[in-house]
Amino acid sequence: MTTIVVNGARREIQASDDTPLLYVLRNDLHLTGPQFGCGMMQCGACSVLLEGKEIRSCVTPVSAAVGKEVTTLEGLPARWAKQKNLSPADAASALHPVQQAWIEEQTPLCGFCQNGMMIKATELLEHTTAPSVAEIKAAFTTSGPSAHLCRCGSYTAIIEAVQRAATVMAKAS
Ligand code: FES
Ligand code: FES
C-alpha cells in the first residue's frame, strides 16, 4: 500500500513503486485531466504539479510523489482558493484563473494537449506575475524536459490566455 497526497487529499493506492504516476492518477484515482500522449516525456500532455513544479507524470514513478503534494488539473480550483483564502462559497464556484482564461480565450481546439498547457501556465504564473511573451514562449518550449506540443496549433491562443490569466491573478494578489 502506498499513500500519496493528491489535490489536498491523502489517497491510498495499490501500485508498485515504479508504476508511472500517470497510471495511478488516471486508472486508480480516476483523475482524467492528465493525458497519455507520447509516454516518453516528449509532449507535456501528462503534466501535473509536484510541489508546485511541472513534471511529466508518464515517466515519473509513483514513489517519487510519496511525501509530496501532487496537483492535477482537477485540483487547480482548490489550489487557487487556498492561495487566496476564498470563502467556502466562493471556492465552490471558482475556477482557477488559468482555467477561466482558457475558456474566455476559447483556447482549446481538440483539447488533448491543454491539460499540460494549463499546468505549465499555472507553474509559470505562480512565479512570474507578468511574464513577457518571450518568457511565456520559453516556459512552454525550453524550460522543461521538452516543449509542450499542440498538434492543432493553438500556440497563439495559449499566449493570449496566459496574459489574460496573469492580469486576473495580479489583480487578486
Ligand atoms: S505523455 Fe508524458 S510527456 Fe507525453
Ligand atoms: S488543442 Fe489539439 S493538440 Fe492541442
Ligand 1 binding pocket includes 131 (Cβ within 6 Å):
no
* CA-wise closest residue to 126 among 170, 75, 88, 82: 170
CB 138 within 8 A of CB 71: no
User: Ligand 2 centroid vs 103 CA: distance in angstroms?
Assistant: 14
How far does the centroid of ligand 1 lie from the alpha carbon of residue 171, in Å? 33
Q: What is the pLDDT of residues 141-153, one digit of tens each?
A: 999 999 999 999 9
Model confidence pTM above 0.95: yes
The Cα–Cα gap between 4 and 14 comes to: 11
Residue range 50-105, pLDDT digits in tens: 999 999 999 999 999 999 999 999 999 999 999 999 988 888 888 999 999 999 99
Q: Are 70 and 20 in contact (CB under 8 A)?
A: no
**DSSP reduced 3-state for 78:** helix
Phi, psi for 113 (deg, rounded to 5): -85, -10
Atom of ligand 2 nearest to the CA of 110: 2
Instruction: Write the residue with the smallest CA distance to atom 3 of ligand 1.
Output: 41
Ligand 1 centre to CA of 34 (Å) is 9
DSSP 33-54: SS--S-SSSSS-TTEEEETTEE
